[in-house]
Structure 1
């Protein structure tokens, strides 16, 4: 092979390599936007979600919301969406009572009705508590529901007569209590709480908010106390 032929072969090989490289580059998929090999992460690392904003105050507490503890100018408000037939709510009940005892006179504690559709007596129970509240016996009926839940919960039959018995034990006007429990006004009141919960994204019970911030599911006493202490220190 003479010198000119050798030069031609080399040039053709180089040209082939260049064409191949251009074809390869043109067929590569576009790179994703952002920095390669990284993902957005909230402060604190490990890809944790950013701290959510507090829930709208007008959905958390209404003018007619029921307070177990109502402290003037309280710096901390605890709101619990609950279902009196929910076993998880009954399990959470002692924790909430301990919080109320230890922080009595310093925080507001608000209960909101959130009767779950799968519980046949959750709405009658909420109506009974609301009817008792109209006679100033909110706390007594609230506690009675959890203390006796094992006796009436999970029944597919209407337990309203059981709740009337609780009203008698609490010394309420039974006729007035029964009329209120069965009234459309109380049914609408329970539904309004439920609707607010849905608007807030509540899907199960108990769902608890401290100063508007939702806690994790079934928070321990220590977790709640830490959040409350932070609110009191502000």
Structure 2
């Protein structure tokens, strides 16, 4: 073999090694990208499986009211009702478990009230990664799949108190799994804290109209007050009196 042939052969082998190296790097990169895409699902499912046994399931919703994001009912209803809550607050738990179902049954399902849910997160304070914020973000991730109201229901069904771990990340993911969400989509949304800005905008909007505690209930733009006093949650009778008065005055 001549000197020139030796050089050509050496160069050919060198180019072959470079091609193999490039192919190897591309393959490794593809594996890393694939792993990065599926890791949220793997991690989320592991978390959910661990906590799933601690989550109380809910019955399928029986409401006949139209569901649209954080809204319930007919947007053309004569009365508009806006409720501002922090998922961790004890008063919100009481209202949602005992009063909200009556309002929905009597007024929302019959087309008289258009009902809208808003976030007003007080309990976390400045901690935007606290349980209230995480629960709100998880609820919005459930909304992406058309299940905001199911997720709201399972949150309060599994409420145990303020800052006691009721809404730890593990339990929030498990709740999503319990109501049958697509966990790949949910985990991606939840881990990215996708709705942090929107949740903060809700808080600002609440402040702008005078919300300072939860639950806060506004009917046709006016704060609903309890007949028991300023520091009490309006009862169903209180709300009925306001709504019926507005309906009569149409």
- The TM-score range, normalised by the shorter chain, is 0.5 to 0.7
Whose helix proportion is higher, 1 or 2?
A: 2
1:189 alignment counterpart: 198
For 1:85 and 1:181, the matched residues in 2 are separated by 18
2:131 alignment counterpart: 121
Contact 1:78 1:210 in 2 (8 A): yes
Determine helix, strand or coil for the equivalent of 1:222: helix
Confirm or deny that 1:146 pairs with 2:156: yes
Superposed CA deviations along residues 100-131 of structure 1, whole A, max 9, x for unmatched, are: 11111321110001111447311101111111
**How has the CA–CA distance of structure 1 residues 158 and 86 changed in structure 2, closer, same or farther, with 3 Å as cutoff?**
closer
For 1:140 and 1:225, the matched residues in 2 are separated by 25
- Which of residues 145, 169, 180 is equivalent to 1:160? 169
Superposed CA deviations along residues 34-76 of structure 1, whole A, max 9, x for unmatched, are: xxxxxxxxxxxxxxxxxxxxxxxxxxxxxx9721x13041001
- Which of residues 83, 87, 90 is equivalent to 1:84? 87
Confirm or deny that 1:223 pairs with 2:238: yes
For 1:117 and 1:146, the matched residues in 2 are separated by 16
- With structure 2 as the length reference, what TM-score do the two structures score? 0.63
Structure 2: which 5+ residue stretches go unaligned?
1-67, 226-231
Residues 26-41 of structure 1 aligned to structure 2 (within 5 Å): none
Q: Please identify the structure whose Cα radius of gyration is greater.
A: 1
1:175 alignment counterpart: 184
Determine helix, strand or coil for the equivalent of 2:121: coil
Number of equivalent positions: 169
Determine helix, strand or coil for the equivalent of 1:149: coil
Structure 1: which 5+ residue stretches go unaligned?
1-63
For 1:158 and 1:218, the matched residues in 2 are separated by 24
Contact 2:137 2:194 in 1 (8 A): no
For 2:132 and 2:116, the matched residues in 1 are separated by 18
For 1:113 and 1:82, the matched residues in 2 are separated by 5
Deviation at 1:174, TM superposition (A): 1.0
- With structure 1 as the length reference, what TM-score do the two structures score? 0.67
For 1:225 and 1:139, the matched residues in 2 are separated by 22
After the TM superposition, list the runs of 4 or more consecutive aligned residues in structure 1 that deviate by more than 4 angstroms. Answer: none
Confirm or deny that 1:205 pairs with 2:220: no
